[in-house]
Structure 1
Amino acid sequence: MRVVDVAEFYSPTGGGVRTYIDRKFEVAARLGHEVFVIAPGAQDSFEPRASGGVIQVRAPRLPFDANYRMFWDAGPVHRQLDALAPDLVEASSPWRGAAIVASWPTRTPRAMFVHADPVASYPQRWLAPVASPQRIDQLFGWFWSYLRRLTSRFDSVVTGGGWLADRLSGQRVRDVASVPLGIDRGAFSPSLRDEGLRSRLLAACGCSEEARLVLGVGRFHPEKRWPMMIEAVTRARDTAPLALVLIGDGIDRVRVARAAAGRPHVKILPPIHDRPLLAAHLASADILVHGCESETFGLVPAEAMASGVPVVGPDRGGFAHLAQPATSEVYRAGDLTAATDAIRRLLARDPVALRTAAVGAAPGVRQDVDHFADLFEHYRSIAASAHA
């Protein structure tokens, strides 16, 4: 089948959405499907891919993030959709791109893939000190009403995991389907552990071989809570010697650098785009720490789990669905003391038994090829029903 994804947040310099869509191109080619992405860009262009290509439509820059642009006129996108004549159209954000897809005047089946929960990512984080998540959902009822109206014009609303599916269904969004995400498991393995790399990273943090190597990977964005995780690891050093290596960059880099300042046991590294090198870093860590409670699946924790690494993460969001008692510790989301205690609990476990359990659980992490196979089958069934 031919699927066209109107991807508002696909950018060559983007993060998770770019990684996900690039992988979708690869798997679609293996499964015999065509995928075209229509994305806002600096100029009109076309980039061929194995199973289709990326069509950039000239659009203005997003004011608060130079990595992205935003759709404006519906006409250019509709003309591309007319020319491609897809079997199904996917919108992968609930904003202007989805409105453009909804207004395309054809009977072509369409699905909205909801990759994020903006209420959990922003107001529930900002207002956490003064209001419960439930109360904040009530205060932002206007957003849920908007989303219900918008998604009523789609044949299906897809999420990448059960946590967000439950969130949307709880807000009376209809026709929600959970198609759990996965990872490129072939790229991550406990066998990639490199003791030499581990030693170099510990030395960069001024720590000896006896220290535990803690890793954090991801965008430097407020929702990732890196300053909190730096403080939690620092406090947990009263239990055992710890080194913390953060890999990433982003709009929150100043706060992250300020949190790490004066702490030689914390080392900040730039993003690693070389997948084998990133996989080696993950496999060489002793613990992964995760602070974001609004991610819909938790790709980095899943990659760490596939690498045989125990994970400490929040009790809300996608990670909470991935966490396994034998290899993980969870804490109350956004709570520094709870995060510190979770790290301490993990450190109190027998390290050999913990490592054995984590390595043994690695093969059970869901693969992304299974996610995409299920996704295309879901889209095929939608298209078939529309033409029945």
Structure 2
Amino acid sequence: MRIVDVNEFYSPTGGGVRTYLDRKMGILADMGHELIVIAPGYEDRVEDRPGGGRIIWVKAPRLPFDRSYGMFWDAEPITRLLDELDPDVVEVSSPWRPAWIVAEWQGRALKVFFAHNDNMGAYAVRWLEGVAQTETVERWCAWYTRYMDRFLAKFDLFVTNGGELARRHERRGLTVDAAMPLGIDRGYFSPDLRDERLRTALLAQCSLPPEAKLLLGVGRHHPEKRWPTVIDAVERAGERMPVGLILLGQGVDHQKLARRAAGSPHIRLFRPVYDRLRFARIMASADALIHGSDAEPFGLVALEAVASGLPLIVPDVGGAFDIAEPPFAETYRARDARSGAGAIARLFRRDPTILRAACVHAASKVRTDRDHAAILVDYYRARIDGGTTDRRLRA
């Protein structure tokens, strides 16, 4: 099977979508399939991947607020490539220009809109949170749901990356054909990678002794991640217990976050760690992962943390909440730093032996990215072979 993903979110400099697609490309090649990504680049070029798959970069304008990402506008280069590649399946995840380019392309492929994010939750709800409740904002933005429904009518399938995002869209009146929860590469992540010397060194960088607690935050420095809420929660918790926080990431809010954390000796900001083994060791060596985003539809970082044997501290809304089971997690009211501080305190009041046992057990149950890819391809094959686009079917 040949799958082509027309993906505006695939960045030359990294990011969660790139990590997901790079890994998926290799897995599908091992399974005898081919994944080709058409992505906006700085120039036109083709990047072949060892073992199979490729990235076709199409020169495109950059986003003015984040030049790591580009945006497609001209349909001709995309449709020409789709005609040449003649895929069995074409996926797209951007609801803007790429969705319409693919929707109106006249090819034989199964057309799939694969939602990885929730623009209404990430932007409108966040921007207007001080003005109205979430339900009210969503009513105000019903035009966006109607807009999506117009282009979705031209697709064969509407798939989401997990149950949380499927529920959001269905609550707004859209029909989701399948929720396909993502998985991770468990070959990297393991509780066995815990390194007490590394943990001690990280705490020392936070000006704390080994007996303190080490929290880890991972993700873009972007408003939707709500890192200021996390920082406030850690500072509040730090008034009653020795606790440090290291944040791994970068993005448009980096300078703002750096200024916010500058007065706290126990909070450190670091750039992303792209060495996967090093990153996995850092993750396994913390005492808990703390997360702030209530807009993310799937908690990929939270899943990596669980696979690493880490307990979770996450808001009570969003994709990470779907993963957070009571034996190894504490939740707090989304966007509420005081509630977040309480969750930190509750987690570290638990019996550490029982908590560790629950985390190790949970690590062994994490879904792998190979599981995800195999289920997805089988679903596509069944839809192609069945020759049906009955939208009531679910994976």
Taking structure 2 as the reference length, what is the TM-score of the superposition?
0.96
Whole-Å Cα distance in 1 between the matches of residues 188 and 53 of structure 2?
A: 24
> For 1:214 and 1:199, how far apart are their aligned partners in 2?
12
Q: Tell me the alpha carbon deviations over residues 129-188 of structure 1, each in whole angstroms, 9 at most, x when there is no partner.
A: 231111111011111110111111111111111000111111222243101111111110
Please name the residue that 1:46 is paired with: 46
The amino acid that maps onto 1:155 is D
CA contact (8 A) 2:86 2:108 kept: no
SS of residue paired to 1:99 = helix
Q: Deviation of residue 387 (structure 1)?
A: 7.8
The answer for the alignment partner of 1:75 in structure 2 is 76
Compare 173-182 and 151-160 and name the one that shifted more: 173-182
C-alpha contact (below 8 Å) 1:155/1:175 kept by paired residues: no
Identity %: 51
CA distance in 1, matches of 2:264, 2:176: 49
- In 1, Cα distance between equivalents of 2:117 and 2:287: 29
Please give the secondary structure, in 2, of the residue aligned with 1:276. helix
Match in the other structure for 1:159: 160
Look up the match of 1:209.
210
Q: Which residue of 2 aligns with 1:171?
A: 172
Q: Contact conserved, 1:260 with 1:266, CA < 8 A, in 2? A: yes
Q: Which residue of 1 aligns with 2:387?
A: 386
2:33 aligns with 33
- Alignment partners' CA distance in 1, 2:67 and 2:216: 27
Aligned partners of 1:46 and 1:55 also within 8 Å = yes
Cα RMSD (Å): 1.3
Kept after mapping to 1: 8 A contact 2:159/2:179: yes
Deviation string for 1:193-218 (max 9, x for gaps)?
01111011011111111101111111
Give the equivalent residue in structure 1 for 2:274: 273
Q: Does 1:303 align with 2:304?
A: yes
Give distance in 2, aligned partners of 1:171 and 1:378.
25
Give the whole-Å Cα distance in 1 for the aligned partners of 2:185 and 2:297: 17
Measured in 1, the distance between the counterparts of 2:38 and 2:248 equals 30
Structure 2 residues without counterparts, runs of 5 or longer? 390-395
Q: What residue number does 1:256 align with?
A: 257
Correspondence 1:136 to 2:140: no
- Partners of 1:318 and 1:72 in 2: how far apart? 30
8 A contact 1:4–1:90 mirrored in 2: yes
Q: Give the letter for the 1:113 counterpart.
A: F
Deviation at 1:334, TM superposition (A): 1.1
> What do the CA deviations read for 1:257-279 (whole angstroms, capped 9, x no partner)?
12211111111111100000000
1:340 positional shift? 1.4
Question: Residue 367 of structure 1: CA displacement?
Answer: 0.8
Task: Determine the C-alpha separation between the residues in 2 that align with 1:34 and 1:12.
Answer: 20
How many equivalent residue pairs? 388
